[in-house]
Structure 1
Amino acid sequence: MRPRLPTPPETALTAGLTAHLPHWEEVYRDLHAHPELAFAEHRTAAAVARELARLDGWEVARKVGGTGVVAVLRNGAGPVVWLRADLDALPVREETGLPYASVESGLMHACGHDVHVAALLGACRQLAAHPEAWRGTAVAVFQPAEEVGRGAQAMLDDGLLDRFPRPDVVLGQHVGPLPAGVVITRPGTVMAAADSVRVTLHGAGAHASAPHMAVDPVVMAACVILRLQTLSARLAPLTPSPLLTVGAMRAGTVPNVIPHTAELLCSLRTFDEPTRRQVLTDLRRVVCAEAGAQGAPRTPDIETYDSFPLTVNDPYATERVLAALADAGTIGRTLPAPLSASEDFGRFGAAAGCPSVMYHFGGADPADFGAEALAALDRGTLPPGTVMNHSPHYAPSDHHAVAAGIRHFLTTAGAWLANDAAATLSPHTD
């Protein structure tokens, strides 16, 4: 059986959208074919600015925080709503086989940011086309460098809150391997904090024929990896459990030379600050102890970089978003626990001192899912064999993902901006 997903009703803000969907789908395909890495999204930013210039009323600013684009549409008194999309791609070689696959060697929009951009542009067009349907100020924030966790802060450091209307609420969405028409989120912590950790182990190199003359950093690295996996196992009973992964090990260049150094790249995901501090302390203790046990001539260098904060949804604003999506025919699911993926989206609301909500929406053809898919979501899991974001095979549906993304942006923004929406964010007077 296929899941029964309702057909979304047309609203005042989505009127006429169907006729324009082919254009936004083509924008998505073009962006997908031309991915760019963090802070190098020059072609992408130019495409965004070009599309916005064709729309009435939007004031457009480029080079905010490097390659970011911000657009403002004022439509009378009312709330200020920020809608955020991220621009950057990943250093992943695409293996989807799509006719619009990446033409950039070793780069891919493996996380769906191309969908986010096309969806926000489509929402901008609808807001400009239907000023009679809403009131207030819409701010479209096209953010660079989400994948390295630095883009939001770069825009804030470039005066984002001073140069543009300050938000009453910040809304963000992320496409995922769910059937189109489904949204998942939760109040409170919805996504993990993350830290990348670079560990450099120092040994003493030698010829491979004389290992007794060396302190082998490759062996040292192997032992450290096993020790860190033991540490991860010991953390498993914590709820939710921290996640510590060694994603890369680099050492040496040829088989007959023992190198001087080895480098480990680790990813740490945590769900509260005390646990984060404790795991980083434990990691340092384990690494230094193993290096000392093997006679390392120097203490390891341990560097934390590309850090992401917790993504925390305002409970009342989340309730408001879910209610609006339900009214629009979307199937909403409240996650039983936070996702272990990470985002820097939360920096905007935290800096502005206003509510923010991040939700994840389906970008896949519902016909590709059986009825067990929704049952799995209720358990807080995904069906076996699901192709996840960051995979070289991940590919949202150009038709379903873009349409869903536009509608969700309009629906959630309309919870504050629509003419029949209350202007206040207070749960006591709403």
Structure 2
Amino acid sequence: MTNKELDFVNFDTVALHGGQTVDPVNRSRAVPIYQTTSYLFDDTEHAASLFKLKSQGYLYSRNANPTIDVLEKRLAQLENGVGAFAVSSGQAAVSIALLTIVKAGDEIVATNALYGGTYTLFSKTFARLGVKVRFVEGSDLQAISTAINENTKALFTETIGNPSLQIADLQALSKIAKEHHIPLVVDNTFATPYLIKPINHGADIVVHSLTKFIGGHGTSLGGAIIDGGTFDWDNGHFSEFTAPESSLNNESFLEIAKEKAFIVKARYELGHDLGATLSPFNGWLFIQGIETLSVRMKKHVNNAQKVAEFLNHHELVEWVNYPTLPGDAQNSLAARYLPKGAGSIFSFGIKGGLDAAKIFINSLQLLSHVANVGDAKTLVINPASTSHSRLSPEEQLKSGVTPELIRLSIGLEDIEDLLADINQALQQATRK
């Protein structure tokens, strides 16, 4: 058997083999865990060349690690990117990706149907850093284009909004971004590269919370940034990529890394300076998760469709928001961008409003009430009082969050057991 890294293209083969060259010394079939902080240099010249980005290799695990390297290469291949950078959380991935592009005085335009933590990051923390984020209704393409001005440096969206499930029209957003010469940054956490590859639809940069479906078992925190290698950083608006760096022998990141300029800059500037490092062990767990991603996603989607249909016809349910239900306003977008399914996360409203929603959640026996999604186990939460609670009522509504909304992340349990638990909790919640 060869230890050469081959250029596979099919999803499951990449998920199992991508990025790995078998250890030539011990011949480990599994990716080894390199639990080390640092690496020996050949000599002083070798050390200097690594720090100046003149040669490839490992110098310190805050910058790169052999276990994490396999994860990054595998993610880049799955997303059709040119490179990836794995970090300590999804929130770190969003922060580093955008702060690599913007500085004080710059602006970002973001669709408003976002995870509450991202909304708060943009509206509070980025504001303190001097970066203004303009939130715009994601389906209003004209308003998005109008919101972009000479200070705008990025357009941000989620493939499937959390928890509104607004599906991003990526091709339309990409066209707007290209017209204004800014990159389109897409959070693909809810969909994963199994359901959609945003770069194929015009995205320039993709981010993930690996904590969710990639890991799949609620055991590890992590995030990732994937560079599509498609954006022209030499268009006159991003001098940080083209200006000579004294620390790099007066060369620019674009000169050194070419189409990988963004991901190299993200890794060796903010990745290094902020230290949002992914541990080798967590990286190894994410590799295990990737290996079964397609198998899990198929059942996630299948179970979610059945639960959504069950609730949609239930007499105790007011409404269900799932893009593939008959008559849903997003049917056409789901068919275009998510032909394998619209994911396993959706929301619904119970008759009786917020009070009934609380009783429903407290009455569940199989479903787990936790602040997470994408687990093998089915999860439930009321976003208005938890994940989006730091938003004002007006901001919640703009994000698609109403007080009574219940979010479900459907797992891999037997469907009969899921439906039985949901049904008994609905009966408890609406009992007079």
User: TM-score when scaled to structure 2?
Assistant: 0.24
Would you tell me which structure has more helix in proportion to its own residues?
2
Greater share of residues in strand: 1
Higher RCO (C-alpha 8 Å, min separation 6): 1
